[in-house]
Amino acid sequence: MNVSLLLHLTILFVFPPLLLGFIGKTKAFFAGRIGPPLLQPYFDFFKLMRKASVYSVTTNWIFRAAPMVSTAAILAAGFMTPIAAFKPPVQFWGDIILFVYLFALARFVIILAALDTGSSFEGMGASREATFGCLSEITMFLNLTILALLSGSLSLSEIFLGGLSSSWLLVGPVLILVVVSFFLVLLVENSRIPIDDPDTHLELTMIHEVMVLDHSGADLGFILYGKAVKLFLFGSILVSIIFTFKTQDLLTDTALFIFEIIGLAIFIGVIESTMARLRLNKVPYLLFSAFIFSVIGFTVILVRGHS
Amino acid sequence: MNVWLDAILILILILGLFIVTSTRLGTMIQIFSMQSVFLGCVPFFLYAKDMEAYIIIVALAAIVLRGFVMPNFLFWAIRHVSVRSEVSPFIGIGTTLLLSGFSIAGSFLLASKLIFPVSISSGLVIPSSFSLIIMGFLLLVGRTKAISQVIGYLVLENGIFLFAILLLKKMPLLVEMGILLDLFIAAVVMGIVVNHISDEFNNTDTIVLTTLKD
């Protein structure tokens, strides 16, 4: 039990920035460049940690607390997420609801901090984030509801470590809908390319990036780290839906999981390199379609029965 | 539990959603063609156990007519009237998408209440056909260009065909062929109408048909 717990925590805390490294490498490969080293996100993190933060005089404690609260909330969600075949350290009946709302809390404090700066530019980003956030949240809830109906459990660990593999045989099409819809939610929540470009600073279309412009030093480091962990958590849930095969051997499962999630990162990188960013007024359509995919899946489950 | 049939039906629904949400006429026609090919495959899965010659003929005829002849005809039509995209639909894209989503949910609820005399191997056939009919109807009422309305009509016909597949055993072959013929004539008539609208008014917007010319 202790080995599994240790592995869970190590992967949760150490691994996430590497995903960003893989995405960056993939994009560099498509652009014909060598690109930054795989460990670049770690270097950035440590560089930011050494720097002092600058606070505007218009801000108050909310602005200072937001990076810590949001990172802590995301990490707390990480404690409940089943990674590879490990039993998560925290699990109880109904933790999927807390799981979703921890992400909502993280988003909420960042929005508050953005409003706290008093800059109208950041307020605009906050409004966009809130709009897309409320659309993606309902989709995510619906997807988790489908999974909960299929596995007959309201706990993340039982959903993902239990019997999704038999569901693939019975209601495979529905699970494909869930995967597609969840992948779109992943792209929206982590502001990846068809929705938002994490690398540019072009004012017109920025969503997430615009809200953290005023953060600096260790605060910015925490925010970037929290973002990486969020991407990792969404990715690990997606991977646990798709690949239900488990060998029951701890180390093999971990290695498999690492390969799968790196594959997902490379896939995201491919999408970012081959697709252009959507116009901002088209983004809600993408979210509507993700929502409707899960609505179709939900109704199919209701009609077909979920046993 | 027919997973492949379910997968095809869900794919048909998703392609329907794509048609409803795209504004480029070329894309709409291509997706319609794909949808029709998948629709033509449904009888092979639905009647996999007791396949008969006329079922194969009906399915192949549907694939060829709806999947290839009709789209080519529509492509010819948009080349002829040089319309490329739907600029200002009556019902916006987002609204159409949400409405079709709710219509899909509604058709599932409706279909679960219906009692059907023939036993069906998949519970998704009837709801999918209802949703296709409603999506086609949404296109018919929500778009202004005559060609997107034709595509809407064809999507609606696809829904009716999906429903008719269920009755393939009971219905005579003649009726099936009648549906195909009906569809073909409808497309030809609409094509002629489209061309005449464009000859008379220099565009294919059906809004201009409501104002009198004096």
Does residue B136 carry a pLDDT above 60? yes
In this prediction, residue A251 carries a pLDDT of 84
The CA radius of gyration of chain B, in Å to the nearest whole number, is 18
- Residue B7's closest chain A neighbor by CA? A173
Work out the number of other CB atoms within 10 angstroms of the CB of residue B75: 15
In this prediction, residue A150 carries a pLDDT of 87
From B17, B105, B127, residue closest to A289, measured CB to CB: B17
pLDDT in tens, B19-74: 988 888 888 999 999 999 999 888 888 887 777 787 888 888 888 888 888 888 88
Does residue B1 carry a pLDDT above 70? no
pLDDT in tens, B139-163: 888 888 778 888 888 898 888 888 8
Residue ranges of A 169-208 with Cβ closer than 8 A to chain B: 169-174, 176-177
- A300 vs B108: CB contact, 8 Å cut-off? yes
The neighbouring-strand residues paired with B145 are: B205
Sorted by sequence, the CB contacts under 8 Å of residue A287 that are 6+ apart come out as A132, A135, A136, A139, A184, A188
Q: Which of A296, A298, A301 would best serve as a mutation to test chain B binding (most B beta carbons within 10 A)? A: A296
From A172, A174, A292, residue closest to B97, measured CB to CB: A292
Report which residue type is found at B76.
W
- Enter the tokens of residue B141: 């009422």
Q: Is A303 on the interface with B (CB under 8 A)?
A: yes
Of A265 and B164, the structure prediction assigns the larger pLDDT to A265
Spatial separation of the C-alpha atoms in residues A286 and A296, rounded to whole Å: 15
Spatial separation of the C-alpha atoms in residues B32 and B68, rounded to whole Å: 10
State percent of chain B over pLDDT 90: 10
Does residue B123 carry a pLDDT above 50? yes
Q: Which of A169, A181, A282, A288 would best serve as a mutation to test chain B binding (most B beta carbons within 10 A)? A: A288
Q: Which residues of chain A have pLDDT under 50?
A: 306-307
Work out the number of other CB atoms within 10 angstroms of the CB of residue A50: 9
- A288 vs B108: CB contact, 8 Å cut-off? no
In this prediction, residue A307 carries a pLDDT of 44
Contacts of B1 in chain A (CB under 8 A): 170
Q: How far is A231 from chain B (nearest CA, A)?
A: 27
Three-class SS of chain A: CHHHHHHHHHHHHHCHHHHHHHHHHHHHHHHCCCCCCCCHHHHHHHHHHHCCCCCCCCCCHHHHHHHHHHHHHHHHHHHHCCCCCCCCCCCCCCHHHHHHHHHHHHHHHHHHHHHHCCCHHHHHHHHHHHHHHHHHHHHHHHHHHHHHHHHCCCCHHHHHHCCHHHHHHHHHHHHHHHHHHHHHHHHHHCCCCCCCCCCCCCHHHCCHHHHCCCCCHHHHHHHHHHHHHHHHHHHHHHHHHHCCCCCCCHHHHHHHHHHHHHHHHHHHHHHHHHCCCCCHHHHHHHHHHHHHHHHHHHHHHHHHCCC
- Residue A177's closest chain B neighbor by CA? B10
Q: What backbone torsions phi and psi does residue A82 show, to the nearest 5 degrees?
A: -75, 120
DSSP assignment, residue B211?
S
Contacts of B10 in chain A (CB under 8 A): 173-174, 176-177, 296, 300
- B97 vs A177: CB contact, 8 Å cut-off? no
Mean pLDDT for the stretch of residues B126-134: 91
Contacts of B132 in chain A (CB under 8 A): none
Cβ(B74)–Cβ(B151) below 8 Å: yes
Mean pLDDT for the stretch of residues B111-118: 77
